[in-house]
Amino acid sequence: MIMNNPFAQRFIPQVVAFMEAAGQTPNMGLQAQLMLEESQEALEALDAYHANPSVELAAALLKEIGDALYVSVGVAIAANYYRDNNLVFERIEASPEGVMALDGFGNILHETAAMIGDEGVAEILQRVVDSNMTKVAGGVVRDPETGKVLKGPNYVAPDLTDLAVTVHEKVSKMNEELEGLMTILAALGIAPEQPASTELAA
């Protein structure tokens, strides 16, 4: 089975349940495009957090991470669906920026897991999954032009505050340690390289 790992298998049935409730058929081209978009949004959320570090913006970043993970499960579902039905994958065009966004998201995910563990990352996705199911509670609302499932009247946003507090506190501590190190290096006349923009520590 494609993307046959415990993490994917844990969430595939739940995402399939949403797709069935929403009347969606797996579409690899759409899922791949959404993956690029969500990865870019995660990078933008990281930039916002760097510009003004706060628990609120850390929670917004975790929400974007959860959205991208959710779509990645959708990619696995589409891959399995195409394989099982002998369908040909659509050609997917990814710009250099899109490839960089995917790579950057991988870095963000890696650092987030280092701070809150794999189960913490899984908890982010679980809360996003549960939240998305409320979009279709009581009926499906669609955009009349695109057919995209919209947030219905019963939608409940995921609460990621507790996880965001943990991430924010650890990033703040890392930044304090980094500032202390840079002060020492400056005193020694050494100019350190700037950290990459996809790192959580600014």
C-alpha span between 34 and 181 (Å, rounded): 39
Give this prediction's pTM: 0.85
Which residues, including other chains, have CB under 8 Å from residue 99's CB and lie 6 or more apart? none
57-180-107 Cα angle (round to 5): 45
Express each pLDDT in 72-127 by its tens digit.
999 999 988 988 888 887 666 667 777 888 888 988 999 999 999 999 999 999 99
Express each pLDDT in 135-171 by its tens digit.
999 888 888 877 778 888 899 999 999 999 999 999 9
Say how many CA atoms lie within 13 Å of 172 toward its Cβ.
11
Instruction: State in Å, rounded, how far the first CA of the chain is from the last one.
Output: 39
Per DSSP, 142 falls in state: B
Q: What percent of the chain has pLDDT over 70?
A: 88
